[in-house]
Every structure is written in C-alpha cells, then in structure tokens.
Amino acid sequence: MAFYTIDNINSIIDFLQDAGDRGVRMRFVVHTDISDATVASLPGEVSRRPEPAEGEFSGLMHNKLLIIDADSEDPNDPLVWTGATNFTNQQLNTAANNMVIIQDQSLAKVYTIEFEEMLGGTFGAYKKNNTPKEFNIGGKRVELFFSPSDNVNPQIIRTADSAEDDLYFSILSFTRPEIADAILAQANFPDYAFVAGLFDKSGGSDSIPFSILTNPLFDTHVLDHDAGYQLHHKYMIVDPHSLDKDPLVLTGSHNWSNGANLRGDENTLIIHDANIANQYYQEWVARYLENGGTVLADSVVFVSDDRIINQLQLYPNPTANSINVTFKADYTQDLNIYITDITGRVIYQRTLGKHEQEERFAVDVSTLPSGVYLLHINDAVRKFMISGR
C-alpha cells in the first residue's frame, strides 16, 4: 500500500490491523508528512519518503495505491487499486474523486517493481525507468507510467493530441501551459474536436492554463468547479462516443504540474476502453452540469451528408425519462429507428412508413440505465445521454 495521506475515521487502519492479525503480509510506502503515530499503527514494514536534502526541491510521495496478491499462484487473484483518491474521510466521502480496480497479474507485478524501489528508500528523481509501459488486459490496451522516471507530462500531451471528435478533462492542479496548448489545439483547425473541461476552483481562474483554455477567441467549454467541495480528479477522456476511433481515459495520481512530473512519486494509467470512457464521461457530465455547464457535444456524424444529421434533433438532452425526436427529410423508403448503447447493442427498434414531411415522436427511456446512447434513423445518428436519476 502506498499513500499520500490516511485517517481512521472510516476504520481503514483498523481493517489493515485486522488483516495483519490474520496473517496477511503488509508493507507500506508513505509520504514524508505521515505522523509517527500513524506509522506506528501500520501492521508491517513502512518506508517513509525522507525530507529533501539541503538545496533540493521537495517532492510528494503522492500515490494512492493498493497492490494485492501480485505473486499469487492463481492469476485471478492479483488486484491493483489506484486513482486520485486518498485514504481519508474527506477524500472518500466529500471530494469528487475516482479510482479504478484492475484484476491483472502482469500489471500488479509491474506496480510491485515501482513499490519495491520506494520501499527500499529510493524516491523521486533517483528512481529508475525500469518498468514496462504496455499491457493487454482482457483484450484492451492499457499503458502505465510512473513519475518522475517516465516523464509523464509528454504522455498527457500525446493523449490530448490523439483526440479526433471530443476531449474532456477534470483536474485539481493544472499549471503546465504546454498541456493547455495541446488541449486547445484539438478545438481548432484542422481538428475541430469538441473540448470541455473542469478546473478545481483552487487551481482554476488564476492559472495560465485556465486563461489559455477560456480564451473567448477559441471554441472551448471550460469551467471553474465551485460547487462547495474539492474537485480532486486528474483525468482526461478522449473520444468516448467514437467507437470507431480510440476511446480512452487517462487517470491516476499525477496532477498536470512540474512538481508531479519532475519530483513526485506518481502513477498514471491510460485505459483504451469504450465502456470505461463512458463511465468517466457520465461522471464528468454530472460535475459539468452542476457547475452551470450547458453545452454538450450532442451529435456523432457517421455519414458525409451533414444536412441529414442536422434535421434529426433530440431533446431534452441529457434526459431522465423520455427523449423527443424531430426528424425532417424527404424519404420514399420506410424509416428504421433504433437505439444502441455504447457497445452497439440494439435496445429499441421501430419502423415508420414512408413520408415526405416532418416526423415527431417520443421514446420512453425510463427503464434504461444512466449512460450514453445513439439514436439512428436510417443514415442519421444522434447521441444522447440518460442522467439525473
């Protein structure tokens, strides 16, 4: 277990002690500021990141990490838990946070290499670039990078550069203008991707990246999160609705800053998976709407004739119970209407007869789970979202 901070308000330390009592071998890597009393309460070997030497910049042991049974003889046992969430009551129950739990032995073993290095007393810029970066987990590509040995900020820029249709981010601390420039570039010629994001209020309106990404000369939808609790995320979502592209999520403990890139002990995952991207997008939209966001990318164009797409309108979008459909085109064939989820599974279908005028109807979606869906009418497609339940 590697953590930046922890408390026992939710009995986390009690549970660790119980596991130690039943014979589970436990080892811990912790940040400099963890108290002696907390270190003494942990049931196993502990390595605490030392204070910086004179003349050195301070750095954070900033991981939020659990590695479980990496060396088990059963490859179905190993787990990695990681993300943005510290092990404290405020972080678990108040702040906006994310975590992922991945069952994969290869990934767990590679995280263990990084962990062992810190357990042995090597932190920050003294760590080696000694871990694999690419994994195939359940047929999905997963990338893994550690800071500062892997120079992660360029990986964030590369991820932003990969966007073709839309890009979303949610971030606590964002200080690097080159990352902001990379995100902004996606919203402009020749890409014209839909770009939207959220800064935490503490790192928002007074920062250079915020100024870059809210420049009124450019078409972006970027807000300060000011909803009364901390936005602690560090994630980017790329092309979550474009199943023919490369939907992905970049997440982990790494804020988009020099400190994280050059001095902090951090981990970053890039998960190439449409379902994971969809789940993160649902969370992003909830925070965006909560902070007054009103503009969402409401269409996905799969055909070359934009006139057909523009004549298919859906409202309200997002919706909770029903979606109203307006379609206007001169068709001499039947209209085939169907709705698919993000995996392509057809969940609604009907056929309307030939017509030469505007068609209006409503579709009851109250029984469908929250998420992103596509409504198809012949060769026209619109995306809509179910949320608010």
Convert the pLDDT of each residue in 173-217 to its tens digit: 999 999 999 999 999 877 788 999 999 988 776 789 999 999 988
The answer to whether the CB of 176 falls within 8 A of the CB of 256 is yes
Quote the CA–CA distance of 373 and 176 in Å, as a whole number. 34
Quote the CA–CA distance of 120 and 107 in Å, as a whole number. 20
Give how far Cα 29 sits from Cα of 34, 67, 135, 274, Å. 10, 12, 25, 33
- State what percent of residues in the chain have pLDDT above 90: 64
Predicted pLDDT at 354:
64
Report CA 322 to chain centroid distance, whole Å: 28
For 320, other C-beta atoms within 10 Å of its C-beta total 13
The mean per-residue pLDDT over the stretch 330-338 comes to: 73
Give how far Cα 50 sits from Cα of 32, 121, 127, 259, 301, Å. 6, 8, 14, 16, 54
Mean pLDDT estimate for the chain: 90
Local structure of 375: helix, strand or coil? strand
The answer to whether the CB of 176 falls within 8 A of the CB of 206 is no
β-strands 79-83, 99-102: how paired? Answer: antiparallel
Question: If pLDDT is split at 50, 70 and 90, which confidence band does 346 have?
Answer: confident
Predicted pLDDT at 238:
97
The mean per-residue pLDDT over the stretch 9-30 comes to: 97
* Phi, psi (deg, nearest 5) at residue 285: -60, -40
Tokens of 130: 């000694």
Looking at per-residue confidence, does 268 or 187 come out higher?
268
Tokens of 115: 């962990």
Of the candidate ranges 272-276, 331-335, 365-369, the one whose mean pLDDT is the lowest: 331-335
**DSSP one-letter string for 248-302:** EEEEES--BSHHHHHT-BEEEEEE--HHHHHHHHHHHHHHHHHTT----------
pLDDT in tens, 107-149: 999 999 999 999 999 999 999 999 999 999 999 999 999 999 9
Residues 6+ apart with CB under 8 A from 116: none
Looking at per-residue confidence, does 106 or 388 come out higher?
106
Quote the CA–CA distance of 138 and 54 in Å, as a whole number. 47
The mean per-residue pLDDT over the stretch 247-274 comes to: 97
Buried b (16+ CB within 10 A) or exposed e, 81-106: bbbbbbbbeebbeebbbbebebebbb
The model carries a pTM of: 0.81
Domains annotated for the chain, with CATH where assigned, are 2-290 (3.30.870.10), 306-386 (2.60.40.3080)
Residue type, 41: S
pLDDT exceeds 60 at position 157: yes
Predicted pLDDT at 287:
94
Strand partners, 6: 87
* Phi, psi (deg, nearest 5) at residue 47: -120, 120
